[in-house]
Structure 1
Amino acid sequence: MSTFQIGLWAIGAAVVLAVWAYNRWTTRRHLPKRSRPEAAVPTAEEARDPRPASDERQEPTLGEVGVSAVPGATVAEPGLGVPAARTAGLTPALDALVPLALEQVVSGDAVLAALPGTRRVGSKPFSVEGLNATGGDWESPRPGQRYSALQAGVQLANRTGPLNEIEFSEFVVKVQAFADTLAASPDCPEMMQEVNRARELDQFAGMHDAQLTFSVRARRAAWSPGYLTQHASELGFVAGALPGRMVLPAATPGDAPVLVLRYETQVALADDPEQIALREFFLTLDVPHVAREERPFVRMREAAQALAQTMEGLVTDAAGQALGADQMDQIGAELEVLYDALQARGLPAGSPLTRRLFS
């Protein structure tokens, strides 16, 4: 074989090797980025005690750059094994109320036995409270207690709309049946008065409701679910109750999560999710459900930007438009106006009453 032929063989081999290397590099580049083997997503229980298990230096998290990530309970993610959500009692501000006069003090056991089988009227929650004969406070009926008066209520409005005439009539029928069992006398309000109150409250709620969502989209290589959850857990997110969901807990146990991170449920349920290419996830803030003191929008903005930076992503709105600093500032200013309006109405964001209205 001549020197010329040997040279051609060498060039051909080099070309083949270069093509193979390029294809391998391209394939690896487009594979989903995977999490480190040692990484683990904290549970809500572990998040309550975030102290490191050793004295090794810990990498900075979002909480160390001005955004706290305090462990706590979530109401939007039941099943985390955390305390139940705080609830607001019956109030004229949010409920149509029916006082029930009693001929004599009744036991909590009797009241519980007389309650209707369903605690809803149409799409609205139905509740009964008793005036504790010993403590003198209105409360949900409890076994072993005695009550000198009762009141029933139905919520005037929620995110399904206002209480209507049909629902109010159903409410009156349900209250009357409950009262007859206990030999109580109900004093029902006038229907149209309560329906009109419901419409006004629903109009206010509709004008001051906000559920803000940011999308983070991959610029280059896709991610595996484990890669995403690994980076999110470093910012204080914990596993949610549903597949494909993580939450940033609030400071107070029982409060709604500050933020919810979600991606495709089918991806999370795949036989081998680490082989699935994930190109987008979402951060959501349910504004009326999160206290202003939690600085929820600031934390949402910084979390989105931190994840986009470390994962090579782009922060966009729900329509896919990139969000810059100016747009973020404008959104923040509009949310401050909304917080002020809720506060002025006596419905501060994150309070039990507000969360009940915007449910």
Structure 2
Amino acid sequence: MSVVRPGELGPVEIKTWREMQRSSAHLANPFLSPEFTIAMGEVSAGARVAVITESDGPVGFFPFERHGGRVGAALGGWVSLCQGIVHRSGAEFDADALLRACGLSVWEFGCLVEGQRWFRPFETLTQQAVVLEFADGYPAFLDELRGRSPKFVKSTLYKERKLGRDVGEVTSEFAVSDPEAFRLLREWKSAQYRRMGRPDRFARPWVVELVERLHAVDTPEFAGPLSMLYVDGRPVAGHFGLRTDTAMIGWFPAYDPEYARYSPGLIQHLRMVEAAAEIGVRSLDLGISNGSEYKDALCSRTVPVSEGIVRRRSAAAAAHWLRTEPVRRARRLVLDTPALYGVADRVMKRYGRLRGGRAG
């Protein structure tokens, strides 16, 4: 096994990586693609890839990020929505031996892809991510959605028609290259984070650089499409995500609050699914529901994603446990207790409103 910087991966290794993704549908997630890993390598000095080999060549690729000393985490874990080893079908790994070979005593993950049985003993929480399936095309998807969520479809399509009557023609574009549109989407999203009392991802320069690099990629195997919804030529909602040739993942959706009564984000999602289906994409992963009504309404199926920590027996791992476990247990208690989660959510939103008021 060798550990390299993402930019040191050669053409043969990248080709093998893509073949592994194509051979296992659950590994086709864009966050597991070499393009995302290479882009992370350009914005993070700690980005690494373990190339796991046997006599006949690579059997797995393990992207990770070194956070100092012997502590590591999933690559881009603060923004990545899918993590784990991309591997040959049937391959087996030993978590302790893998970390030792990477020079790590600890590896944290937050959105582990399903089927990574070698990490299962270290999982601390498993949740369900929402997936939209449209392999049979958009009309079939919409018919299925009408049968499962008739009120949602009726309401969304009515609001789209009303938006057109009240304001102007409703149009959409799946892959927008305009940097000003991308800047506007990020402004909407940052404002949403502040309203919700959540950390603003785009306040970190490395995140802005990462998404701009990914937005510039547009190949059949991988792209970072910016989808926008317009009314009378004015942008009112958008989404920046990632796609492979068959799968897409929801990442940064946002809309102009001035048009909130029309639910432009929902309209934009349906338009985006229609356009994605036309180019051969078969599914859209919206991430963990967390009680989101629109995600639950759109959901075709769910897939498990897990978080946890692999710790080897070492002084570094023990120190990490002492430093992080109390916070982790408190967070788990809040997530597992609806009353506490509701209070925490309300407090964060109130904080967001207060902070927004001071900013204004």
Q: Same fold (TM over 0.5)?
A: no
| TM-score for both structures, normalised by structure 2 | 0.24
Structure showing the higher helix proportion among its residues: 2
Structure showing the higher strand proportion among its residues: 2
| TM-score for both structures, normalised by structure 1 | 0.24
